[in-house]
Amino acid sequence: MMFSCIPSYGLSGLTGLSIQIEVDISNGIPSYDTVGLPDATVKESKERIRSAIKNSGFDFPPRRIIVNLAPADQRKNGSLYDLPIALGILAAEGQINQDKIKNIIVLGELALDGSVRKVSGILPMVIDACRLNPGQYFLVPYENAPEASVVNYANIIAIHHLKEAVDYLNGSLNIEPYPSINWNEYDAAQSIYDFCEIHGQQGAKRAAEIAVAGGHNILLIGTPGSGKTMLAQSLVSILPKLTFEEALEVTKIHSIAGKIPSKTGIINERQFRAPHHNASTPALIGGGTYAMPGEISLAHYGVLFLDELPEFRKDVLEALRQPLEDGTVHITRASAHATYPADFMLVAAMNPCPCGYYGSRLTQCKCTPTQITRYRNRISGPLLDRIDLHIEMTEVGFSDLTSKATQESSAAIRERIENVRFRQRERYREENILYNAQLNNQLIQKYCKLNTASELLLKQAFKKLNLSARAYYRILKVARTIADIFDAECIQEEHVAEAIQYRSLDSKYWARERI
């Protein structure tokens, strides 16, 4: 028989796509053709396959070879079909037992010497294939095995070399399925910074705790060197721990982007993504020919840190608005479309003015009022609308005081936050939301009722601080979170009073007084 068929898998966005690889070998002038909408990487596989087969001690048939990737109307891309095609050729030649390959999904890239290299996107494929057929066998590169073994009802056969694969399929070599990992092993995830390493900045730390507790987006404002970046990085350490389902979803996205740590195989901590401010819209939102996930999806369930927010291109920032609202992003390209989750906490940072020293006691600000206004106006109102807390960092280096307060560790803060999050989940069980930041105006009126005293205080705030109308709902939401932190059923006056402190950009004292 000069024909073989091997199952493999492909991806369209986050969903899998079953692919059959058919190889036919016939007599005639030696040639090699790949059909079924292959892209350049798949076409190029011919040379890799030829060398790999030869260098593994097999014969590459000097005949007419046709490779078909079915279904023929779907585009195939990536190097993951090297291994199945090579095995298909060998099977068609009769060098491998045909029966054995019918039920095992094969994925992997080949090196010229026949060794198998890792590929991206394994996890979503395994999850998808196992949903249809639990207990499915997979033949995957060894480096991808930890990632694939996250799915504990899949049988993962990890191989290093083409020869190994052939021997396994012929039954001369026995490989046990890769042990599936235990989620609890990854409990000890550590982030780069701990909150106890940040000295001073009590106000900002408090605000950060509120933000994380209620899932609010934040904007950090401060002079250069005031610790905005460090605070943002340590936020990851106080975010509630990832659940297994969440981790799986995050890992899936990273798998597509080919960004899985090969050791652990699963992403077990919340991600901190900090794209540089010259990032393009596709880089941030996702896109490209194959509609790949962008930074916002890689930051799913984690923190997206945009340092120097006003330096980002305006169209890039505006593109953030829809994902911030929905928690997902739809990417459509001519040849591909995908929907990726993008439920992240936005942490933006900016200087108070172009030179950075407005409000500094150490360095004189050199900016004119017009420059400052122009700088601030680069952040549009609708985007600012989606940021609940504006945190002003205090300047470091001026103070004559040395910090003597003992600093709380991230673990302690995280524990508090888990409790507050739990309280919110309980309250909003019927509303299909998880935390306060997701409240819309209607729900705010239902859940953020004020008593007379706090109502009065808020009215006063509007008059005195010249707050904008949009600040009203933001303050209510934040006050709700503060009340939750204090385990209070109703929002009290002091909760509103504290929330008012986090609206710097809305109040007039922040913009220079108009002459």
Partner 1 sequence: MRDFTSQERLWLWLNSVTAHYIKKFHLILEQFSDIEEVYEEAHRKNESAFHFLDEKTRHKLFHSATEEYINQYVRWLNKHEVDIVLQTSDNYPALLKEIEDPPAILFIRGHLVPNPTLPIAMIGMRNCSDYGTRITKQLATGLAEQGATIISGMARGIDSWASRGALDCKTSDYPTIAVLGSGVDVIYPPENARLYYEIIERGAVISEFLPSTQPHASHFPVRNRVISGLSRGVVVVQAGKRSGTSITVNYALDQGRDVFAVPGQIDDIHSVGINALIQTGSAKPIFGISDILEEYGFYPEEPLQIQPKKIDLFGLNDMERSIVEQLIKGERNFDELCELLSYSPAELNSTLTSLEFSEIIKQLPGRIYKV
DSSP letter, residue 243: P
Q: Does 103 bind partner 1 (CB under 8 A)?
A: no
Is 43 or 464 the residue whose CB approaches partner 1 more closely?
Answer: 464
Q: Give the binding range for partner 1 (CB under 8 A) out of 6-14, 33-41, 101-109, 493-501.
A: 493-501
Under the binding rule (CB under 8 A), the answer on residue 515 touching partner 1 is: yes
Q: Mask: binding to partner 1, 205-244, rule CB under 8 A, as x and -?
A: xx---------------xx---------------------
251 in contact with partner 1 (CB under 8 A): no
Q: How many residues bind partner 1 (CB under 8 A)?
A: 49
Residue span binding partner 1 (CB under 8 A) among the ranges 74-82, 106-114, 356-364, 407-415: 356-364
Q: Is 360 in the site for partner 1 (CB under 8 A)?
A: yes
- Taking residues 365 to 394 in sequence order and writing x for each that binds partner 1 by CB under 8 A, - otherwise, the string is xx-xxx---------------------xxx
Task: Say whether residue 359 binds partner 1 (CB under 8 A).
Answer: yes
In angstroms, the CA 142 to CA 145 distance is 5
Instruction: Determine the Cα–Cα distance for residues 96 and 98; give it in Å rounded to an integer.
Output: 6
* Residues 135-174 close enough to bind partner 1 by CB under 8 A: none
Q: Does 343 bind partner 1 (CB under 8 A)?
A: no
Supply the minimum distance, in Å, between the C-beta of residue 223 and partner 1: 7
Q: In angstroms, what is the minimal distance from the CB of 369 to partner 1?
A: 5
What is 309-326 written as a DSSP string?
GGGS-HHHHHHTHHHHHH
104-106 and 116-117 strand pairing: unpaired
Residue 247 is a binding residue for partner 1 (CB under 8 A):
no
Residue selected from 74, 289, 399, 441 as contacting partner 1 according to rule CB under 8 A: 399
By CB under 8 A, residue 475 contacts partner 1: no
Decide: is 457 part of the binding site for partner 1 (CB under 8 A): yes
- 308, amino acid identity: E
**Residue 352 is a binding residue for partner 1 (CB under 8 A):** yes
Smallest gap from residue 351 Cβ to partner 1 (A) = 11
Closer to partner 1 by Cβ: residue 49 or 367: 367
Per DSSP, the residues of 195-233 read GGG--S-HHHHHHHHHHHHHT--EEEE--TTSSHHHHHH
Question: How do strand 272-273 and strand 286-287 relate by DSSP bridges?
Answer: unpaired
**CA dist., res. 407 & res. 401, Å (int):** 16
Question: Exposed, middle or buried, 371 (CB in 10 Å: 0-12/13-18/19+)?
Answer: middle
Are 149 and 179 spatial neighbours (Cβ–Cβ below 8 Å)? yes
Rounded Cα distance between 101 and 139, Å, is 10
Interaction of residue 351 with partner 1, rule CB under 8 A? no
Decide if 116 contacts 159 (C-beta within 8 A): yes
Contact residue for partner 1 among 61, 177, 203, 282 (CB under 8 A) = 203
Q: Which is nearer to partner 1, 160 or 361 (CB)?
A: 361
- Kindly write down the DSSP assignment for every residue of 231-260, as one continuous string: HHHHHTTTSPPPPHHHHHHHHHHHHHTT--
Residue 460 engages partner 1 in binding (rule: CB under 8 A): yes
Q: Which of 342, 349, 302 is nearest to 321 (CA)?
A: 342
Stretch that binds partner 1, among 88-96, 327-335, 410-418, 460-468 (CB under 8 A): 460-468
Q: Which is nearer to partner 1, 314 or 366 (CB)?
A: 366
For partner 1, the closer CB: 86 or 210 = 210
Q: Which two tokens stand for residue 94?
A: 């009769």
Q: Are 125 and 27 in contact (CB under 8 A)?
A: no
Smaller CB separation from partner 1, 40 or 405: 405
Contact pick of 401, 426, 430, 469 for partner 1 (by CB under 8 A)? 401
10 in Cβ contact with 106 (< 8 Å): no
**Under DSSP, is residue 345 helix (H, G, I), strand (E, B) or coil?**
strand
Q: Residues 108-137, buried b or exposed e (16+ Cβ, 10 A)? A: bbbeeebbbbbbbbbbbbbbbbbeeeeebb
Give the C-alpha separation, 502 to 493, whole Å. 15
Q: Which amino acid makes up residue 21?
A: I
Judged by CB, which is closer to partner 1: 119, or 221?
Answer: 221
DSSP code for 279: -
Other CB atoms within a 10 A radius of the CB of residue 515 amount to 4
The site map against partner 1 for 494-513 (x = CB under 8 A) is: xx-xx-xx-------xx--x
CB nearer to partner 1: pick between 295 and 395: 395
* 37 lines the binding site for partner 1 (CB under 8 A): no
Q: Applying CB under 8 A, which part among 41-49, 108-116, 240-248, 486-494 lies near partner 1? A: 486-494
CA nearest to 285, candidates 247, 234, 320: 320
User: Which residues of this protein are in contact with partner 1, per CB under 8 A?
Assistant: 200-203, 205-206, 222-223, 352, 358-361, 364-366, 368-370, 392-395, 398-399, 401, 403-405, 457, 460-461, 464-465, 482, 485-486, 493-495, 497-498, 500-501, 509-510, 513-515
